[in-house]
Each structure stands twice: as structure tokens, then as C-alpha cells.
Amino acid sequence: MTSANAQERVETIEVAEREAGMRLDRWFRTHFPEVTQSYLQKLLRSGQVRVDARRAEANLRLEVGSKIRVPKAVRTPREGSAGAKTAALPKSNEADRKLIESMILFEDDDVLVLNKPFGIAVQGGTGTKRHIDGMLAGMVDRFGDRPRLVHRLDRDTTGVLLVAKHRQAAAKLGRIFQTRSAAKTYWALVRGVPKPPQGKIEAALVKASGPEGDRIRKARPGEQKEAMHATTHYSVVDRVAHKASWVSLKPVTGRQHQLRAHMELIGHPIVGDNKYDGGLDLVAENIEPKLHLHARRLIIPHPGGKAKIDVSAPLPAHMLATWDLLGLDPRRFEKDDG
């Protein structure tokens, strides 16, 4: 809640429920990202920023309903200051905003569920400047806080991506994922037909460096200390003779490249996966040489105690084209996702 008008020298902002427990300096970074830490310290020392009419330290933990006194100068930083330079930068460009809006499958006050497209990184890294995390960070004005990623998808994996809209929701959802209370279903096209048609893959995984970069593989004797336990359930939904299968994959754990490494391990790599031997012999002509792995559905308890979140994402264009080419019907499991 804000009480202010253009003539007032200060405004008073009330701490929202989702901001309870947040440090004062973190609250400022969220609401006024152009204000530097040193400038905030100056405002606090001079008493220009107060909490419930009292002087405060930057590390003060806020309570619901507390009233923060904010001087008007905060919204118009001094010319030439670091804050002024930051404020002059666009928060995000129009193309990125439109892209994020087009991805939204579900939204409420606590969570955002996106349908991640092919080829866009979820987070930044070496040589990666454009990514979903950065786009969301530039839309604080749209979401009221900086949205926080709860889990990850590989750059070329498509589908359901869960995002927390504030810190408290992120903490609760993080605990839900840790306790494996989230049910995730992926759809993939793999080479060959797994036998038996339903099964469980349990193989500890390790990261190994190679000429084409890091790769996840099965742990070898003596590598138990660094190995990560990983379990995946799979089920064949449909098949194309003996050439390929549409499979439903349900990971119990959430290791890096787990599904891709596990399917290669049982001899049925995911089509279009160059890193895990699925990029060659694409089972049919005219199939796009893209990774055919899609985060189809997520069912997870709501962090606010509401009804469970249950969201499904439609197949991306390249997988839809492949399904059509091979005579597979994605509508077959619209209600029961395999």
C-alpha cells in the first residue's frame, strides 16, 4: 500500500505479507533497484529512511504491515550517480516482455508457470547473455518482485517451467522439490523400442569432461563419492515399428541431464540429442535435428496451501511436426498424459 502524491517529499510503503522476514536492504533492491547500497546507508544514517517512524539498520528484518518511509529523492537519483545510471537503463526490452507473456500457462499471486521454448537458456553462463532468468529480472515492475527460478530445464528441452513470484514461495517450493513431492512427466521420442515397455532405470551419475564439453555418464567403480543417485521411470506410449518410440518419462530425482543420460544408458537415446548419441540416424527423413524432449506436465502442492498446481504444456512445433510425420497422435493422452 502506498500513500503519496507528486507534491509530497516522502512516501510511505507498507510491507506486504510476502515480504515478511526480508532484510530492509533487500527490500530496497527489490523496489528501487537503482539505489546503491552506499546510497541507502547514507539515507539510513541521516534518518531519511525510517521503519515505523524509527531509525533502522540495513539488516533489519521486516514485519508484515510495517511502514517504510521513503524519500522522494529515491525515485529521482542524483545526476551522475550510479543510481541515476541504472535508472536510465530500460528494465527489459519489448521483445523479451512479449516473449515471457507468450510463455505463461498459469499465474497467480505466488507462482508463474511458463512453457519454455526450444533453444533459450533458463539461466546465464559463459557466453549466454539472453536467458529466461534475466528476462524475468527485468520485469519486476510487472510482477511486483523479482521472480525466482525453482527448477531448471536444459537449453534445448521445452515445456513446463515453474517460477516463484516472491521469496517466500521460492523457499516453500524449494522444500517441496527437495522432498520429491513434485510429479514431473516428460515426453520424448527415442530411437528403438525399450524392453520391457515399462521399467525403472537406476544408475548413479557423474559429470565427466570430454572433447565436446561436460557430459553426464554412469558412475564407475571408485567414483561413488562424487556419484549422484538417479532414478527414472519410463513407459512406452506408442511406437513406430522398431525404429522409434514415444515414451513417457517420470524422474524421481532431478540430476543434470538425467533423462538424456539414462535413455542413452539403456540403448535408446533421445532423438536429436547430439551429446548423448541421439543426433545421428534420425529414424526418418525430414525430422528436424532438434532435441525431442518436452516437460509435458507438472503436479505440485501449491506453496500457499491452495489446490494443487497441475499444468500441462503442448508439444513444441518441431515435435508436433515429427509426431505428424510418424503418425503419432499427441491428443491421445490429453487427459492422462501417458
Q: What is the mean pLDDT of residues 66-72?
A: 90
Q: Do residue 196 and residue 323 come from a single domain?
A: yes
Q: Which domain holds residue 82?
A: 2-88
Compute the CA torsion angle 208, 230, 335, 121 (nearest 10 deg).
Answer: -30
Q: What is the mean pLDDT of residues 190-201?
A: 97
Nearest by Cα to 75 from 34, 136, 42: 34
Q: Do residue 263 and residue 168 come from a single domain?
A: no
Cell of residue 93, nine digits: 526490452
Do the Cβ atoms of 169 and 110 come closer than 8 Å?
yes
Rounded Cα–Cα distance for residues 34 and 88 (Å): 9
Residue of higher predicted confidence among 301 and 337:
301
Q: Indicate whether 26 pLDDT > 60.
A: yes
Cell of residue 130, nine digits: 539472453
Q: Is residue 338 part of a domain?
A: no
Domain boundary, last residue among 152, 178, 204: 178
Q: Is residue 102 part of a domain?
A: yes
Rounded Cα–Cα distance for residues 234 and 65 (Å): 49
Q: What is the mean pLDDT of residues 129-147?
A: 88
Q: Active site residue: 96, 145, 154, 238, which one?
A: 154
Q: Do residue 326 and residue 188 come from a single domain?
A: yes
Q: Is residue 48 part of a domain?
A: yes
The residues, ordered by sequence, that sit 6+ positions from 296 with a Cβ below 8 Å of its Cβ are 159, 160, 185, 186, 187, 248, 312, 313, 315, 337
Q: Is residue 24 part of a domain?
A: yes
Q: Indicate whether 280 pLDDT > 90.
A: no
Domain boundary, last residue among 42, 58, 88: 88
Do the Cβ atoms of 33 and 86 come closer than 8 Å?
yes
Q: Do residue 215 and residue 303 come from a single domain?
A: yes
Rounded Cα–Cα distance for residues 245 and 235 (Å): 10
pLDDT tens figures, 93-128: 889 999 999 999 999 999 999 999 999 999 887 778
The total domain count for the chain is 3
CATH number at residue 56: 3.10.290.10
Q: Is residue 213 part of a domain?
A: yes
Provide the H-helix boundaries in the chain.
24-31, 37-45, 82-88, 94-103, 132-137, 140-143, 167-178, 258-265, 317-326
Q: Do residue 46 and residue 103 come from a single domain?
A: no
Q: What is the mean pLDDT of residues 61-80?
A: 76
pTM of the shown model = 0.74
Catalytic residue list contains 25 = no
Q: Do residue 192 and residue 166 come from a single domain?
A: no
Q: Is residue 157 part of a domain?
A: yes
Q: Do residue 283 and residue 218 come from a single domain?
A: yes
Domain boundary, last residue among 68, 88, 108: 88
pLDDT tens figures, 140-155: 888 878 899 999 999 9
Q: What is the mean pLDDT of the chain?
A: 87
Rounded Cα–Cα distance for residues 154 and 282 (Å): 21
18-27, 52-61, 139-148, 206-215: which has the minimum mean pLDDT? Answer: 206-215
Most confident of 55-64, 217-226, 230-239: 230-239
